[in-house]
Amino acid sequence: MTASLLGFAVLLVLILVRVPIAFAMALVGYVGFALLVSWSAAGSMVAGTAYETGVSYTLSVVPLFVLMGNFVTRAGLSDELYAASNAFLGHRRGGLAMATVVACGGFSAVCGSSIATAATMARVTIPSMRRYRYSDALATGAIAAGGTLGILIPPSVVLVLFGHMTETDIGKLFIAGLLPGILGVLLYMAAVKITVWRDPSAGPPAQRSDLEARWRAVRNTWAVLALFVLIIGGIYGGVFTPTEAAGIGAMGGFLIALARRRLTFGVLVEILIETVQTTAMLFFVLIGAIIFSNFISYAGLPDTLTAWIAELHVAPLLVIFVMLCIYLLLGCILESLSMILLTVPVFYPVVAGLQFTGIEPELVMVWFGIIVVVVTEISLITPPIGMNVFVLKAMHPDIATGTIFRGVTPFWLLDIVRLAALVLLPGIALYLPSLMA
């Protein structure tokens, strides 16, 4: 227990002095394991972890979904999604911001990355919102918040990593993210409504689209809808596994980009290089996290926490509440992926040992995974780290960081409401997985 706590302390110091999180976790895990066992055993553990992670069949979905996201981004599907949602919502007060949120939700369904979703939608939506004199706070707040849906609405790379670390069915995790993702879109739209109710000048209404324009805009989104239905429908119906779905999705993204004549040889090379770079980054972080996890597991921290909580005889929901508070605090100093990979090895054995009323034991980790992702979404838009906020700042240096953080405030406040609903009403996340083939 003492060794584990000391390891966490050293890790936080390394992170604060800006050592890359992957190398910080690997270094602390390796040295800690060596001091507890032996240097040769630690070396074997690191080599085995790197090899097994690299050849894992389950994790082959990661590069495939990343590749699919890169294809659909280059195919320009984000423009069609925004045009369709704008055709139905743009004429309302705050309608362009609402359309942005809806488009972010749709793009998340074929992207799987929060940062990519925020960056892509910023390019598409900021010009139109500025043309209608939207406040910078509302415009950037809607994009930053909508972008967080990228790690929840399937396919989600973060859910894949969570499933791998906890040996949870990835297909069920994907399906479980659907209703919470839709709830997030609705609450974000409510946040826009509240913002323009308080300050009507923040989101003036745009031009109303006629019926023909709406139909034309919806018709142009067929590629996104077809790809999403094919992937999620196939997983939900038991037609193919998540890994097979990833391969089909990557091929579908390739064909869509090819059909739209957005794919040249040079663009294809760029997409493949981006995919390799992103995949390598994710695998480096995951390998470092597993090495660190092996160390703290051998040091006995998860077992000690489980036994301690069992002796306290506290309500399981109280344990979840404490964990969520820890996540919210960690969100102030860590980015989302690092936070999940760092804490899940400690928390999931504790959660697995609890009994929750009304939740089937085999679905407990599915529910916990969705809760972890949602609380991580909040960290993407809260100060001082807020990765999505800094993505927007990098793309629009003329907008003050404080303005963006002010704009996302109503969104993360309603995210707290969604988080509470998911904890108290597990059926929101578990209804669809309970019906899976």
CB of 383 closer than 8 Å to CB of 412:
no
Mean pLDDT on 381-400? 83
* Token duo for residue 174: 């994907």
What pLDDT, in 10s, does the model give residues 155-189?
888 898 899 888 899 989 999 999 999 999 999 99
Q: What per-residue confidence (pLDDT) applies to 316?
A: 87
Q: How many C-beta atoms surround the C-beta of residue 230 within 10 A?
A: 16
Q: What per-residue confidence (pLDDT) applies to 177?
A: 93
Q: What per-residue confidence (pLDDT) applies to 426?
A: 93
Is residue 303's pLDDT more than 80?
Answer: no
CB of 174 closer than 8 Å to CB of 181:
no
Q: What per-residue confidence (pLDDT) applies to 172?
A: 92
Is residue 307's pLDDT more than 80?
Answer: no
Q: What per-residue confidence (pLDDT) applies to 151?
A: 85
Distance CA 79, CA 426 (A): 35
Is residue 48's pLDDT more than 90?
Answer: yes
Q: How far apart are the first and last CA of the chain?
A: 42
Q: What per-residue confidence (pLDDT) applies to 1?
A: 65
Distance CA 232, CA 178 (A): 10
Most confident of 118-122, 231-235, 316-320, 413-417: 413-417
Mean pLDDT on 229-249? 86
CB of 242 closer than 8 Å to CB of 174:
yes
Share of the chain above pLDDT 70, in %: 99
Q: What per-residue confidence (pLDDT) applies to 293?
A: 85
**pLDDT band at 141; cut points 50, 70, 90:** very high
Q: What per-residue confidence (pLDDT) applies to 96?
A: 92
Mean pLDDT on 290-311? 80
Share of the chain above pLDDT 90, in %: 31
Is residue 17's pLDDT more than 90?
Answer: no
Distance CA 15, CA 288 (A): 13
Mean pLDDT on 121-139? 89
AA identity, residue 277: Q
**pLDDT band at 419; cut points 50, 70, 90:** very high
**pLDDT band at 119; cut points 50, 70, 90:** confident
At residue 276, the 3 state secondary structure works out as: helix
**pLDDT band at 362; cut points 50, 70, 90:** confident
- For 178-225, give the DSSP string: HHHHHHHHHHHHHHHHHHHHH-GGGS---PPP-HHHHHHHHHTTHHHH
CB of 382 closer than 8 Å to CB of 339:
no
Q: What is the average pLDDT value for the chain, to the nearest integer?
A: 87
Q: Which residues of 204-226 are buried (b: 16+ CB within 10 A; e: fewer)?
A: bbbeebeeeebeebbeebebbee
Is residue 267's pLDDT more than 80?
Answer: yes
Is residue 217's pLDDT more than 90?
Answer: no
Q: What per-residue confidence (pLDDT) applies to 12?
A: 81
Least confident among 290-294, 332-336, 340-344, 409-413: 332-336
Mean pLDDT on 196-203? 92
SS3 readout for 69-122: HHHHHHCCHHHHHHHHHHHHHCCCCCHHHHHHHHHHHHHHCCCCCHHHHHHHHH
Q: What per-residue confidence (pLDDT) applies to 235?
A: 85
What pLDDT, in 10s, does the model give residues 57-101?
888 888 888 888 888 888 878 888 888 888 888 888 999 999 999
Is residue 437's pLDDT more than 70?
Answer: no
